[in-house]
Structures are given as structure tokens and as C-alpha cells.
Structure 1
């Protein structure tokens, strides 16, 4: 429930970074979840993403690491790790973000093929932020090809938007 509510509040800035569409509503949701001190994967991860959106990177990293500890499947591990990579990227720790993304691309290729494009997309965005444009382009094109094969218009648009950043 909390994750769906937070996802509905996500919008993207000019760099294709997640930002809150309604900061006040998000703050209310995050404060309510914090007060409950969640101990389950889904709520802990959602709280971490909410904190990330609010720019509270240190707390986001703490909660996403806890979610990672609670992850009971490879898919959950990938999802929490990619969110954690974003928290590191947004806080300026590009090396950690890249390492996590690369590890999750490898894990997805081995165990959760349907999540490869998700991991590649976030690796590509990290590479964009690192200024490694050609490598980013290759990674994002692979993500786009996988997403086109799935036929999901929203994911395709996200990959196309990330590729457009390279042309700016």
C-alpha cells in the first residue's frame, strides 16, 4: 500500500531523477511510516524510496540497507539494491552506485532475467552522471531493446528519455 502511494507521487526532473510530485503528501506518508518503525521488506523499502525522494539520502541509505537485509528473493534484492544505488548516486557517491548497479545486472542476468532492463537502465543513468557517455549509450540501448521486446510503453519512454539526456 505505502509503496503504491509513494510510486504515484514520483515524477522526474530534467536529469530524469526521481522527485516528489507532491512534497507535502510524501512528507506525511514518510513521517507516518517512520513512526511505525517498519520491520517488513516492502514498507522498509518504500520508506527508503520516500526518503530518497525527499533528499534525505543518509536515512534513505539506512532504510534501503535494512530492506536489502530483509530481501528474501533475488528479485527483491535487485529492487532494493537498485534503489540503494540511486540513493548513493543522488548523494554523489557514483562509485558505490556503479558497483551496486553492475552487481545487480549480473544477478538479474543469472537469476531474474525479467529485471535485466531495470538494472541496465539504472546503470546507464549512473554512467551518464559519471560522464561516460558512450558506455551509457550502449547500456541504455540494451535496456531499450529489452523493453521494446516486452512492449511496455512506460518503460520504453523511460529508456528513450535517458538516451535523450546523452544528446543534451
Structure 2
């Protein structure tokens, strides 16, 4: 049983590193002026988190994808992603992450209101 659990822990740690590096790559692509490629990386992270029981980084993927969409002017879709991140972050109970999502949500809502 110990070997089985350690093998699973090793697999999860490898997946977590891959997932966090995909998020970093997405951000690098975004800042390099390749937002469409960045969105693909964030979607890969979302898919990876949804396809296994390890959703530790799902809120980060939603938040980063939301920021990328916001920068592309897709405010309504960005808001959806920020709100999904917020749900997960509320469940995590990490106040700094909650504050970050709340700021993004407030910013997008204000931008949408100003657009109207």
C-alpha cells in the first residue's frame, strides 16, 4: 500500500510541476504578444486539471485565462473565468487569492458598465 501511495504522490508532483510550468509558459506567450497561444496553454491546464482528480491549479488557470481574455477585450468571457476562479478560491479560503479575483471581477464589471 505504501508503494502504491508513493507512486501516486510522485505522479501528482510531476503533474503539478508540468501544470505550473504550462501556466508560466502561457504568461510568457501572452507577454510576448501571442495571446492566442497563451489561451491554448491555459486551456491545456484546465483540461489537465479536469481530467484527473488534481485540480490544485484550476483556479490559477481560470484567473490567467480571464486576464488574457480581458487584455483581448473579451470582457464578458473574462468575467466568467474570473467568477469560476473566485468560486474555487472561496473554497480554498486563501484571502490573498480571493482578493485578487475580487479585484479582477470589480475591474471587469466597471469596464462593462462604462461600455454600456
TM-score grouping bracket, smaller chain normalisation? 0.7 to 0.9
Aligned-residue offset at 1:160: 1.2
Map 1:63-102 to 2 at 5 A: 73-102=14-43
Deviation (angstroms), 1:79: 0.4
Q: CA deviation at 1:119?
A: 0.9
The runs of at least 4 consecutive aligned structure 1 residues that moved more than 2 Å come to none
Alignment gaps of 5+ in structure 1: 1-71
CA RMSD of aligned residues (A): 1.3
**TM-score between both structures, scaled by the size of structure 2:** 0.78
Does residue 119 of the first structure (1) align with residue 67 of the second (2)? no
Structure 2 unmatched ranges of 5 or more: 1-12, 112-116
Aligned length: 97
The structure, 1 or 2, with the larger RCO (C-alpha pairs under 8 Å, 6+ apart) is 2
User: Per-residue CA shift, 1:93-143, capped at 9, x if unaligned?
Assistant: 101100100111110122321211111111111111111111110111010
Matched, 1:129 2:49: no
Larger relative helix fraction: 2
